[in-house]
Amino acid sequence: MEVLEEKVSQLEEMMMRLLYIQQKTEMEIQSLSREMKEYKQQVDKQINEYKQENDRRFAKMDEEFEKYKQENDRRFAKMDEEFEKYKKQVNEQIREMNKKWGEISNKLGTIVEDIIFPASKPVLEKYFNCEITDIHMNRKRKKDNLKDEFDVIAVSDPCKTVYLIEVKATPKIEYINEFKDEKIERFKALFPEYEDYKLVPIFASLRLEDDIVNYLTKNKIYAMAYREWEYMDILNFDEVK
């Protein structure tokens, strides 16, 4: 009996120890869980603070960048405005200079030498996309009883084309009729070397009114003059071609 009681007592002691160990383990687990929770809260807090700080910095950077962009836009807008004013002034000066130069050339009778001839080659090459290989001004020729003088003759051998430019200081319909009905025929007779070349007639002046341009277009003759006194141009290229 005593032996049984002793074993029961030992068993109770072991159970008490096991219970103690279990309670201690649970307490340690609870403590660890609490510490982990506190650590997670601390980490979350730091992450949130870091995020808020970054958001604040980026917001400030965005604000500063927007200010910088607005300031640059304002400066560029001002520069564009000043450039447009300058460009307008320069264009106005060019128009005025071309107009005065044209008036002087008209008075001196040198419109061909001073204005039309220097502009002919670049204008022709630009519009007709043909290299000008030969160009003459005030070209005279006589054959038997036939003679004439031609203001500008430009030749493109690669394109087998000859451009005949008639220049008049004061354009009139009668001058155009004489050019298309008589002068072109005289040119063909006096320059037989170009009989296999395409002939392109051009009527040029400093300024051509709309009625003159329309009449030239109707007769398939190109009109060359200043465009708003800015540059020498062919005014009816698309309509004639």
Number of H helices, E strands in the chain: 7, 6
Residue 65 corresponds to which amino acid? F
Is residue 93 predicted with pLDDT exceeding 90? no
Query: Rounded distance, CA 205 to CA 225, Å?
Result: 5
Report the topology of domain 109-240.
Answer: Trna Endonuclease; Chain: A, domain 1 (3.40.1350)
Q: What is the pLDDT of residue 237?
A: 96
What rounded mean pLDDT belongs to the chain? 82
What would the two tokens of residue 66 be?
């927007």
Strand partners, 163: 154, 200
Q: What is the pLDDT of residue 105?
A: 47
Strands 161-167 and 198-204: parallel
What average pLDDT does the segment 100-128 reach? 74
Percent of the chain with pLDDT over 90: 46
Residue-wise pLDDT for 157-191, tens only, equals 999 999 999 999 889 999 999 999 999 999 999 99
Q: What is the pLDDT of residue 108?
A: 45
Query: Rounded distance, CA 75 to CA 66, Å?
Result: 14
DSSP H helical segments within 109-194, as ranges?
111, 117-128, 173-178, 184-190
Residues shown for the chain:
241
Q: Of 130, 151, 147, 127, nearest to 139 (Cα)?
A: 151
Is residue 109 predicted with pLDDT exceeding 60? no
What global pTM score does this model have?
A: 0.58
Residue-wise pLDDT for 52-77, tens only, equals 777 788 777 777 777 777 877 788 77
What would the two tokens of residue 19 be?
């219970």
Domain boundaries, given as residue ranges, for the chain: 1-108, 109-240
Strand partners, 199: 162
Q: What is the pLDDT of residue 227?
A: 83
